[in-house]
Amino acid sequence: MRALKALTLLALMLPALAARADCAPRSLRLAVIPLKGAEAMLRENQPLLQRLSEATGVPVELVVAPSYEGVVDAIVSGGADIARLGPASYVLAHRRDPQVEAFATFTLSAGPYTPAGNHYQALLLTRSPGPADLTALRGKRVALSDPASTSGSLVPSVEFAAQVTTPLQRYFGALVYAGTHDKALQALLEGRVDAAFVASERADAYLANHAIDPARLQVLWRSAPIYYDPYVFRANLCPALKARIRHAMLDDPEALAAFAHSQDASGLVAVSHTEYAALERMMDAALEPR
């Protein structure tokens, strides 16, 4: 009987002990979607990693996943403690675990295709001079970024397909997944595809980083505005760690000004699931039987 009571007490104590241990981890992992090459992302994220390490008192490791789905898997499984997701991949992660919590996003700098603020758009770009309207792209090759990318796949598959009343795979002759927005733009400029669906913010950055005249491209389609990439916490991350991370990323804009600039942004602001509710409804509508 005493042994049974001891086991029962231990079972009741385990969740509290686990929670306490989680507040003193040996390290933390930040997983990020593959927006650029791994070396560039490792270099650009060093100020953020240092800031988070100082705030939490433990080393913070950056994990550049090979795909958007890889980051979703990492944050849902607990393989990462924090993640930068695309808006649609965040919705996918939140569906799998509603305790995954969005807490920060960027304020974007103005560019050729994106106004200053918290929003960007999916674009369909072609080389210039190019076709005068969308009908000229029927049967052509189009580049996308990643199947779980918001602007590089999911939004076009819903909004664009609704506008032309045809699924992407039937409207275009071939869909080519380039892996990243930058690679999709490169394929377009090199003539390997006839058009590309990309994020307006990534198009701004690509043109600036490669000194490309925006006149070389033309916009044939724009989506409705989309809230930008959220940073999220995994489920059951220690509340004290969450508070330190929020403070480090949001309460002193100057501390991460250089990092924000490297992301073609003007700063970081608080965000929650509410800002992505419209996108979630659109994605739910896309899954409804026709």
> What average pLDDT values come out for the chain (290 residues) when binned by 10 residues?
39 40 87 89 95 97 92 96 94 95 93 90 93 92 91 90 94 94 95 96 91 94 92 96 97 94 92 92 65
Predicted local confidence at residue 118, as pLDDT: 86
CA distances from 286 to 142, 198, 223 (A): 21, 20, 15
Cα of 193 vs its chain's centroid, Å: 24
Predicted local confidence at residue 11, as pLDDT: 39
Dist. CA 158–CA 290, nearest whole Å: 13
Predicted local confidence at residue 287, as pLDDT: 55
The encoded tokens of residue 200 equal 């307006």
Write down all domains in the chain, each with its CATH number in brackets: 2-109+227-287 (3.40.190.10), 122-223 (3.40.190.10)
pTM of the model: 0.77
Q: State the amino acid at position 262 in one-letter form.
A: S
Dist. CA 77–CA 32, nearest whole Å: 15
Largest CA distance in the chain: 84
